[in-house]
């Protein structure tokens, strides 16, 4: 893995870099595990834009990923390590002994030909999926379920990993990459290891065109708009809005709590995530 920096032959090249993708083994995905996805440009079923600054971009083919890892007792062999345009990490194609093929999130350091398994009785090594009760404390894990059988929800981004802190009865305490500590049922599954492609965050986009290829349009500041388009628009000269930052509909953008208080998962949080800028807890 590594970052490739080009010669500054143009203004766009000067400040951009790309991943060298040295770990990838094939360039075309498995056709039986792919499907088309339709883009909506941030619009809902009425055609109204609900998420701004989205649209366009290169066409993507969705790869069906096995987040549940529920194929117990059947050994699989890693056939490929592939690029997935729909996520920041790499994916691996696993060929099982019974002939079935499935895509999984590729853990860091996985190689073609390695064996992977899932279930309570398997070796705790990178790529194997096990219930949290069977994973030794202190190990790095990813693709963690929040509800048993639902599929992995936590720690799926490139380079992420959580760590098992303690076990108490039917609950397991894990520390997430954000610093948050939460309890998860011991029946929930997780995959051992750290997610692949940790250099993703070091890549510099460099120019606006690459953002457009990702389907992201220019993000316009509210204070740069007219009063008819945004509550913070208008004014003589470079006005600073004259009010607290808000959305186009007037919803305050700073200081408000966005987490749903009725979410039952809130009661399982032992320690809130930390603000990485000053190391203080975010309440």
Given a cut of 90, whether residue 264 has pLDDT beyond it is no
Where are the domains positioned within the chain? 3-200
Given a cut of 90, whether residue 160 has pLDDT beyond it is yes
Number of H helices, E strands in the chain: 2, 17
For 165, list phi and psi in degrees, rounded to 5: -95, -45
pLDDT at 278: 53
Strand ranges, E, within the chain: 3-5, 17-19, 34-36, 61-63, 76-82, 91-96, 101-105, 115-116, 129-131, 140-142, 144-145, 152-154, 162-168, 171-175, 181-185, 189-192, 269-271
Average pLDDT, the chain: 92
Given a cut of 70, whether residue 169 has pLDDT beyond it is yes
For the segment 5-48, what is each residue's pLDDT rounded down to a tens digit?
Answer: 989 999 989 989 999 999 999 999 999 999 999 999 999 999 99
DSSP 3-state of 42: coil
The H or E element containing residue 210 is helix 208-213
Percent of the chain surpassing pLDDT 90: 85
pLDDT at 260: 82
pLDDT at 242: 86
Q: What is the CATH architecture of 3-200?
A: Beta Barrel (2.40)
Q: Yes or no: say if 162 and 177 are a contact pair by the CB < 8 Å rule.
A: yes
pLDDT at 36: 94
d(CA 41, CA 130): 38
For the residues 96-118, what does the mean pLDDT come to? 95
pLDDT at 76: 95
Q: Yes or no: say if 269 and 181 are a contact pair by the CB < 8 Å rule.
A: yes
pLDDT at 277: 52
- The radius of gyration of the chain's CA atoms, rounded to the nearest angstrom, is 22
Of 79-88, 162-171, 255-264, the one with minimum mean pLDDT is 255-264
pLDDT at 266: 84
The tokens of 34 are what?
């792919």
For the residues 84-111, what does the mean pLDDT come to? 96
Given a cut of 50, whether residue 261 has pLDDT beyond it is yes
Which of 190, 74, 71, 198 lies closest to 136 in space, CA to CA? Answer: 190
> Beta strand 115-116 with 76-82: parallel, antiparallel or unpaired?
antiparallel
Which of 283, 219, 275, 282 lies closest to 247 in space, CA to CA? Answer: 219
d(CA 89, CA 131): 23
Instruction: Sort 29 into a burial class: Cβ within 10 Å, 0-12 / 13-18 / 19+.
Output: buried
What's the pLDDT band for 283 if we cut at 50, 70, 90? very low
Which of 275, 124, 104, 96 lies closest to 196 in space, CA to CA? Answer: 104
Locate tokens 């309440």: which residue?
A: 283
Given a cut of 80, whether residue 130 has pLDDT beyond it is yes
């Amino acid at each position: 893995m590594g970052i490739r920096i080009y010669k500054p032959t143009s203004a766009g090249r000067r400040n951009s870099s790309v991943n060298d993708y040295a770990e990838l083994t094939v360039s075309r995905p498995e056709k039986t595990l792919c499907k088309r996805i339709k883009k909506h440009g941030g619009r809902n079923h009425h055609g109204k834009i609900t998420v701004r600054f989205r649209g366009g971009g290169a066409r993507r083919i969705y790869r069906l990923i096995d987040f549940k890892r529920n194929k117990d007792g059947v050994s699989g062999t890693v056939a490929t390590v592939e690029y997935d345009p729909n996520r920041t990490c790499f994916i691996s194609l696993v060929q099982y002994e019974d002939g079935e093929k499935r895509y999984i999130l590729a853990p860091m350091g996985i190689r073609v030909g390695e064996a992977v398994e899932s279930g309570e009785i398997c070796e705790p090594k990178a790529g194997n999926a096990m219930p949290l009760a069977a994973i030794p404390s202190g190990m790095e894990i990813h693709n963690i379920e929040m509800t048993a059988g639902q599929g992995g929800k936590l720690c799926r981004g490139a380079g992420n990993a959580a760590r098992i802190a303690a076990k108490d009865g039917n609950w397991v305490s894990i520390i997430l990459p954000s610093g948050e500590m939460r309890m998860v049922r011991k029946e929930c599954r997780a995959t051992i290891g750290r997610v692949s492609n940790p250099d993703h965050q070091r890549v510099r986009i460099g120019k606006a065109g690459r953002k457009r290829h990702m389907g992201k349009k220019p993000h316009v500041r509210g204070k740069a708009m007219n009063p008819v388009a945004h509550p913070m628009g208008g004014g003589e000269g470079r006005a600073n809005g004259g009010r607290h930052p808000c959305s186009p509909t007037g919803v305050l953008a700073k200081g408000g709590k966005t987490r749903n208080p009725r979410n039952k998962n809130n009661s399982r949080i032992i320690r809130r995530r930390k603000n990485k800028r000053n190391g203080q807890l975010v309440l």
